[in-house]
Amino acid sequence: MPKFRMPVAALALLLAATPVASAAPKAAIFPFELNDVSIEGELGGRRADETQRLALATQELRRLATQDAGYELVELSGLEGEIERAAPLYKCGGCEVNIARRVGADLAFTGTVRKVSGLILGLTIQVRDVSNGRLTHVLQAQIRGNTDESWIRGIRWLVKNRLLAEPGQQ
């Protein structure tokens, strides 16, 4: 019997010293939307390059949310029709929370690109707590230039300097 005491005691110490990994928060990251208030937008029509950039911005936010912020993404595929009917999400007052709740998310992320002109754009990412619908973060940045590079750089800046920043350093 004494033979087994030492290994059992060592195992108990090892288990006690091993940190228990907490579950990563589950995030529903909805597709970015364009709010085009520019003269070009008033004339109607959607530019193919901007539609492509919206997808690029969404993809980058999803990548950074998992890689840098440690979120676990929940799948929104199959809900495109419902998301489209609720759109624009930036005007619905938190309706994305109900969709996010149904897919098991803890947080709902929505993103908007507000195009003022061909040169001046604003990025906004809103994060809502799915349990109560309250905003936990509103991340905003102004960018100059309507290019893939400027949009991606803006998303990266928001994640690094707003989402991941310590309170008081924002």
Written as tens digits, the pLDDT of the chain (170 aa) is 455 454 544 444 444 444 445 589 999 999 999 999 998 888 877 899 999 999 999 999 999 999 999 999 999 999 999 999 999 999 999 999 999 999 999 999 999 999 999 999 999 999 999 999 999 999 999 999 999 999 999 999 999 999 998 666 65
Q: What one-character-per-residue DSSP string does the chain give?
A: -HHHHHHHHHHHHHHHHSPPPPPPPEEEEPPPEEEE-SHHHHT----HHHHHHHHHHHHHHHHHHHHTS-PEEPP-TT-HHHHHHH--GGGTTSTHHHHHHHTT-SEEEEEEEEESSSSEEEEEEEEEETTT--EEEEEEEEEESSSHHHHHHHHHHHIIIIISSPTT--
pTM: 0.84
Asked: is 28-163 a CATH 3.40.50.10610 domain? The reply is yes
Q: What pLDDT does residue 126 have?
A: 97
